[in-house]
Amino acid sequence: MKNPAADTAALDVVLTFEPCWFNAPTERTAQFFPAFVRVSTAVQAALRRMLPETYLADTTLFRDTRMVYPLLIYAASRPYTTRLRTDFTYDILNPDLMRKFYFSVRLNLPKVLADVNARLRAAGMNDLARQYRPEKSADIIEIVNRLKLCRRRLEALLITETRMVNDLIRFSGIATRSAKERDKIAERCEKQWLTKLRRLWARRDYTALGPGILSAATTALVASPLPPS
């Protein structure tokens, strides 16, 4: 049964776009690519942190490993960054990019599992904690890859973050458009983001995460570029 109060709270979520979005660099300028790489990385990092923290606040949910394993793999993956002007996020249809994705997962998943294991043990859930031992990392990756439902859940997150980043890229170069056109782009982005977040994971509403993710993206957009390494 749905919670009417939760639905009302979801309707109250508003995304406010700071003036910097309406002055986002145009695609053909030197500032465009580094700015939106920063934006993409910020969105990916925020999703990887905020979604697991929110969904897994209730430790009993760890019992559904087919739901939790894909989420932990997502959390363990490193946000995608690139020097190429073709991709801003992982593409599930690109084998090279997905190899990079799983390389980062193999590096980071044992630490993620160690934290989960310790948390469950501290809650007295020792039997369940065994399902999240760091040495099970390779097995968990294999399970998620083998089981279609788990794999699709993981891929859906990667697709969603790509679409959220693409929604922000539409702000590029809109400074020359009319105020009405600029407002329409902002309204469309807000609508698209809230729609995606409303069904982001486990049929739960995560629109409350929207302002925090947008804040991280805004900070990234106006940040000074890092000096070349």
**What does the block give as tokens for 17?**
């776009």
What pLDDT is recorded for position 2?
Answer: 41
Taking only the tens place, the pLDDT of each residue in 162-217 is 999 999 999 999 999 999 999 999 999 999 999 999 999 999 999 999 999 999 99
**What is the DSSP track for 47-116?**
HHHHHHHHHTTSGGGGG-HHHHHHHHHHHHSPPP--SSSS-SS--TT-HHHHHHHHHHHHHHHHHHHHHH
Report the share of the chain in percent with pLDDT over 90. 89
Contact, 161 vs 43, CB < 8 A? yes
Looking at the chain, the whole-number percentage of residues with pLDDT higher than 70 is 93
- pLDDT level of residue 227 (50, 70, 90 thresholds): very low
pLDDT-based confidence at residue 12 (cuts at 50, 70, 90): confident
Q: Rounded CA gap, 98 and 92, in Å?
A: 6
- Provide the token pair at 86: 């073709």
Global pTM?
0.91
Stretch 2-10: mean pLDDT: 41
Instruction: Give residue-wise pLDDT tens across range 89-106.
Output: 999 999 999 999 999 999
- pLDDT score of 29 more than 50: yes
CA 159 to chain centroid: 9
- Those residues with Cβ within 8 angstroms of residue 192's Cβ, 6 or more apart along the chain or in another chain: 163, 164, 167
Domain boundaries of the chain, sorted by first residue: 30-222
22 is written with which tokens?
């309406």
